Amino acid sequence: MTLSPIHQWVAKALEVSGLSQAEMARRLTTELRRDIDRAAVNKMVKGTRDVAADEMLAIETISGVPAPSINAITKVPLIEWVSAGKLSEPASQLAADQAPQLAFADLGRGDFFALKVEGNSMDRISPEGSIILVNRAERTLVNGRFYVFSLRGKTTYKRWRADDPPYLAPYSTDPVHGPIFVKKKDFEVVGRVRRTLMDL
């Protein structure tokens, strides 16, 4: 797996500082005033965990190694959860400037926000508890792609199928989930899902 510039930078910051992963975790816990364990630092180095914006600033402060150019990094607010199951009312939504900020590399242009997945109707690509990145700037439907939809004030995360009739398709290992048949006038495309992430 090719590591992103951010994950390569974390590994370099550890090497230059001479800190162990456990010591970096202790320093981050003190700096951020929340628990960061050695396993989390290990995942940052291996590229299996994203590095939040405040974590980047703390690592830069602790190690003295400048973070990658901000031009290569997109800060994305984690604003609420989305159902990957039955249609659900949106969760109480934080304003973007009050929400936790996650940092991602190589997202490209767009208007991104992050959601936590609840339910298992999309578990082939986004198990429950994973984070999806949604681009509000992409609302044109493409057959077979993944989107967050709003139907009569309720939201869901599904795959778009432009069959006759069209429907929102689950992508699940659980056969209990079936398609949701819709008319285009009855729903709104919130945005296209561009990335899915899961801590192990």
Asked whether the predicted pLDDT for residue 88 surpasses 80, the reply is no
Counting residues of the chain whose pLDDT is more than 70, the rounded percentage is 86
Asked whether the predicted pLDDT for residue 93 surpasses 60, the reply is no
Give the model's pLDDT for residue 170. Answer: 95
| Average pLDDT score over residue span 175-196 | 91
Give the model's pLDDT for residue 54. Answer: 80
Q: What's the one-letter identity of residue 148?
A: V
Counting residues of the chain whose pLDDT is more than 90, the rounded percentage is 53
Q: Which residues pair with 176 in a beta bridge?
A: none
Asked whether the predicted pLDDT for residue 86 surpasses 80, the reply is no
Asked whether the predicted pLDDT for residue 185 surpasses 60, the reply is yes
Phi, psi of 23 (to 5 degrees): -70, -40
Tell me if the bond preceding 165 is cis, omega within 30° of 0: yes
Residue 129 structure tokens: 């508890």
Q: Which residue has the tokens 């009739």?
A: 165
pLDDT top residue among 83 and 104: 104
Domains of the chain plus CATH, in order, are 5-68 (1.10.260), 73-197 (2.10.109.10)
pLDDT tens-digit profile of 17-47? 999 999 999 999 998 888 999 999 999 999 8
pLDDT tens-digit profile of 102-141? 877 667 788 898 999 999 999 999 999 899 999 999 999 9
- pLDDT category at 191 given cuts 50, 70, 90 is very high
Residue 152 structure tokens: 């009569």
Q: Please state the pTM of the whole predicted model.
A: 0.62
Q: What is the mean pLDDT of the chain?
A: 85
**Interior/surface letters 31-70, b for 16+ CB within 10 angstroms, e for the rest:** beeeebeeebbebbbebebbbbbbbbebbeebbeeebbee
Give the model's pLDDT for residue 87. Answer: 42
Give the model's pLDDT for residue 11. Answer: 94
